[in-house]
Structure 1
């Protein structure tokens, strides 16, 4: 069940939200619609968090998210306010949804039509077409149960899942089986396994350490399809801002929170840009660890530094935003380069924690779909290489990897791109730390391993400060834009319950 907006007729509460990413803007909109005065404080000059937009010399780059999956999550949020997705931006279903590049530049386009995907699987491995139908059917069931019921639980305790039907469903959801083992029951060809396992990269763990529950991601990507918001993902962030403002939310960009002032285990005031502001409650949608370690004294922190060090974090990234003064014929909108060993790269991210020797990488070329993101006749490229968190990322090392990736990209495309490079900007670990206060420069949050799922994540409500709640990628439900939207809704609902109880 989805939490509904609760409208209160009592005294308006003064609520501060830290961070204008998707979880913060979602929570703010729900709280304002519930009758409260909400101010969002954002340290950067623009909203969107990791979904900010970079404008350079006529190019519009999405700085972070570029995959629009699970469109129903966005739809449900807009419907809370009597709106629809189409009121804010235009969605285009991509066909092919994405392309996967293997060794020797072998390319597979993943069609938008599911029957065609099944036919592709069958052409690679006999019987794989019917097996994919069964695999995705199971994933669809998990998606329905998970996204309609379980994902909206706040993760306070196991009691939330003790309702008989949910407990029975939990076994069928395969929470205790690994994704890798589950996939290998169906497919043998390493190329098919790579196509099935790649969404796990968004969840931040190796397939063998990720619950089979997350085959629901395969249903989202292969059956629901891959979409693109015209104008880029920044349009989605702007839509959330507009909706929040229409509900009465005030945004203060360029204003980072400096201190949460506590009295009797309650936040009484916040300090932002040297100014003191009285508040009744706070939702922290910025980095959970940063809020506790930098804005609170140790006695008011729920989690110690050793706790955060013990957690498994999703990867960081090395990103390049590139403007190319020509059209690149061979690229699709989304391009996954699996021309090196997936397992070896994963070990270097999660186990060895070092810069990769032969990395996999991803190339997004949104100008294939959207002529507004690059000058006419040019291409907009976004390169992403997953890397371990906490690495030093000096410019000379970034440059070494830039040429390594470009060597492979140019070999695949069969043409020189670097001589047509007119815009170039890199982004990596230290930038995530500086711009988002991201712990060890993580890009996605906590990995969705079994022991970091649902009730095992950092709690949404502070254990020490009564009117402090958290939302975002370090609490439930986890990494990704749709989970961030759901996280904001849950956090707002939990705070509204508290305010109802008080009044």
Structure 2
């Protein structure tokens, strides 16, 4: 049936969900508390410098393109994609020179062979296995909400069962260490675990599939950054008929009684002026942080995940971010740059324990102006620095020109010094013309992120696939979830898939695998539904 839908949260997942449902013929209202869409995929501009303040690695391009095709277009038509070569530059503590990682499989194999003779062959075999794991994951795990376990009984999955058991019971680091001796190679293969909100010492070996993405497929960049991706998604969502409301803070998910249980009936929200509003709905989709949705917008009796369950969960790392506008050019840096501390086991341990970071620490630097000339004024560079840190909102918030909390600013200062020394840019600190920092406190305040986490629930074994929170409430019918907190997980592609899982559930499609692009599903357009009888379609009142 055609339904009235309210989506809470205008990040990647909420925007993607709203657009897919609207294209399927539903009436969709999207509520976003900020004054722009994108959520963690944010943007900031100052004095001609432009920054992405969130995701910056364009991985799983076929997943992103698939979402666009569901919307009747393609990534190629909507974005200006550039292939990076090198894919990224790596700096290793104690090593005299950086190492460039090529933009594809052949370059990666040659690089490993040069670092440790014989390891090129080992990498080729490793990447074959990673590609196979990735194919199985996309066909059988990622596009399955596990409301039924029939997808796990497929013949191709059963044939791989012994290998899958091994991949799930080993750690990523353990699998890498048994095959590669050179510590630099181990770090190149292990760092993608951070994209999953965890560490190679805790991630299941199944996530070796990530190496198929950066080493096998290579890395793309959308000119204009991820802000361009958000703009394209917003354009398509509005074209599909989504009613976007900015500055709209959800206060309560309205519920009623239906069939002896609770049912979602709408959302109460307030605008920037403090005026209250009420939207009735047949379906509510929570695309914000799951902990916030359940503990702040629902009564305790209707929460699928009580507070004591959250106490046993891993929020993943937090982060300190720095947006730096630099005078002069920085040829010492590539587009993507990874800085690896020698003892990164201790590095990860400190992050998990909430301890002060080591000096030096492992970090990431994006020099987007290396590829995108519009990211900085002529003769300048735009740097985005990400320092993985404990998920501790008490570290405080960032600010402009050093006005953030002392802890956040100290972490940023240390990162600038480290980049300066390791990359051979002795005057880097004195060339900073624009500076803004973002801390764990900002993630908590701006995105309602549980414990100030920068990404979402860590992809440990107990928080992956069917063990991750589901895309539907167990206590409230008509209440669905999408985003990094739920299945399938963290990252832009995963959030796009979570939106598709909501679409499939609304359609009544329980099959594993992605939806075939095409016209809106006829079964959803059979009849109009009525708005919830207990409330008018929309109401407002002063608060």
Q: Under a length normalisation based on structure 1, what TM-score does the superposition of the two structures give?
A: 0.95
Which of these residues, 9, 12, 27, is aligned with residue 19 of structure 1? 9
> Residue in 2 aligned with 1:362?
364
Residue of structure 1 in register with 2:66 after alignment: 76
Deviation string 1:367-392 (CA, Å, 9 cap, x unpaired) is 01100011111110111110111252
Please report how far the alpha carbon of residue 156 of structure 1 lies from its aligned counterpart in structure 2 after TM superposition: 2.9
Spell out, residue by residue over 1:434-487, the C-alpha distance to the aligned partner (whole angstroms, 9 max, x if none).
110000000111111111111111121101100000011111111111111101
Question: Counterparts of 1:224-373 in structure 2 under 5 Å?
Answer: 224-264=217-257, 265-273=262-270, 274-350=276-352, 352-358=353-359, 359-373=361-375
Superposed, 1:163-178 pairs within 5 Å as: 163-173=154-164, 174-178=167-171
In structure 2, the partner of 1:424 is: 435
Q: Do the aligned partners of 1:157 and 1:455 also contact (CA within 8 Å) in 2?
A: no
Q: C-alpha distance in 2, partners of 1:148/1:57?
A: 46
The answer to whether 1:485 aligns with 2:491 is: no
1:24 Cα deviation from its structure 2 partner: 1.1
1:54 corresponds to which of 34, 44, 48: 44
Which residues in structure 2 correspond to 1:203-222 (within 5 Å)?
A: 203-222=196-215
* Cα pair 2:266 2:284 within 8 Å, conserved: no
Measure the CA separation in 1 of the matches of 2:253 and 2:224: 37
> Does the 8 A contact of 1:322 with 1:422 survive in 2?
yes
For the 8 Å contact 1:31–1:496, the answer to whether it is kept is: no
Deviation at 1:399, TM superposition (A): 2.1
* Counterpart Cα distance in 2 of 1:277 and 1:81: 26
Q: Distance in 1 between matches of 2:294 and 2:140?
A: 30
Contact residue 179 and residue 207 of structure 1 kept, 8 A: yes
**Partner Cα distance (1:416, 1:235) in 2:** 32
Q: Which residue of 1 aligns with 2:533?
A: none
Matched, 1:467 2:478: yes
Are residues 161 and 42 of structure 1, via their aligned partners in 2, closer, same or farther at CA, if it must alter by over 3 Å? same
1:170, distance to aligned residue in structure 2 (A): 4.4
Looking at structure 2, the residues matched to 481 and 97 of structure 1 have their Cα atoms a distance apart, in angstroms, of 19
Q: Conserved in 2, the CA contact under 8 Å of 1:17 and 1:39?
A: yes
Alpha-carbon separation, structure 2, partners of 1:82 and 1:491: 18
Q: Any idea what SS the aligned residue of 2:477 has?
A: coil
Whole-Å Cα distance in 2 between the matches of residues 141 and 436 of structure 1? 35
1:109 to 86, 90, 100: 100
Please state how far the C-alpha of 1:250 moved relative to its aligned partner: 1.4
**What is the Cα deviation at residue 275 of structure 1?**
0.7
For residue 207 of structure 1, give the secondary structure of its aligned residue in structure 2: coil
Q: State the SS of the aligned residue for 1:415.
A: coil
Worse overlay, 35-44 or 107-116: 107-116
Aligned to 2:122: 131
Residues 1:144 and 2:135 aligned together: yes
- In structure 2, the residue matched to 1:38 is 28
The answer to whether the 8 Å contact 1:61/1:321 transfers is yes
Report the alpha carbon displacement of residue 409 of structure 1 after superposing the two structures with TM: 1.2
Q: CA deviation at 1:426?
A: 0.5
Q: How many residues align?
A: 492
Determine the C-alpha separation between the residues in 2 that align with 1:127 and 1:256.
57
Of stretches 217-226 and 237-246 in structure 1, the one that deviates more from structure 2 is: 237-246
Q: Does 1:397 align with 2:388?
A: no
1:202 maps to which residue? Answer: 195
Name the residue aligned to 2:172. 179
